[in-house]
Amino acid sequence: AYSWGVYGVHPFILLNYSDKYNDLSTLAHEMGHAMHSHYSSANQPYIKSRYAIFTAEVASTVNEVLLMDYMRKHTYDTRQQLFLINQELESIRTTVYRQTMFAEFEKILYAKAENGEGITADLLDELWHELNCRYYGADIAPAKDISIEWARIPHFYRSFYVYQYATGYSAATALSENLLTDKISAREKYSGFLKSGGSDYPLEVLRQAGVDMCTPLPIATTLNKFARLLSAM
């Protein structure tokens, strides 16, 4: 699924839909992109309408998180509750923890290259295996084939793209918490974020929306939520 459009024309969403929860969540995600693009185009001149990658996944993830909150509040079946909690735990694990691991892999790799060290497939396998062991801890035994997993991740061809998933998810979690607790004020700020496009630096755009990514708070908010969800499970 994806959302796409051009300036002055409303965005289009193209996706498959088979009436499963994942389809609903994907639709909500793509609608977040569409909202962000629509409001930015409607409120910014062409030259400032495109938002940066750093903020590109924020609106889409806010929609996913708000949908998850709504579903949990309106679901009373224990098995469905467990499914929904697991979905959100996995979202945080794969987007915050895992993408941070991806970014560390890149950081170590580039440092080696800058120091003139040879980069071989064996070195990449060893580094990837070591990071998986460190990030997931002694209670998880990585499969032998996990060492080669780095080779199937296309994002590594776009330098340091991956960390922005972790920052974007953390910003979105903090924004959604604001929207759920301080509805009127937070909604006005969030509306301003959707309309901002590329009119300012991404950190400033998010700060105006109520999330300061120069502090540990958005990450801490996300990890605290992970802990609460795990306890609920």
Q: Which two tokens stand for residue 205?
A: 């755009």
In the set 30, 57, 88, 177, the catalytic residue is 30
Mention every residue, 6+ apart, whose C-beta is less than 8 A from residue 57: 164, 165, 168, 169, 172
Q: How far apart are CA 229 and CA 184, in angstroms?
A: 26
Q: How far apart are CA 168 and CA 61, in angstroms?
A: 8
Q: How far does Cα 118 stand from its chain's mean position?
A: 33
**How many Cα atoms occupy the beta-carbon half-sphere of 91 within 13 Å?**
25
Mention every residue, 6+ apart, whose C-beta is less than 8 A from residue 85: 72, 229, 232, 233
Catalytic residue check, 64: no
Please identify every residue annotated as catalytic. Answer: 30
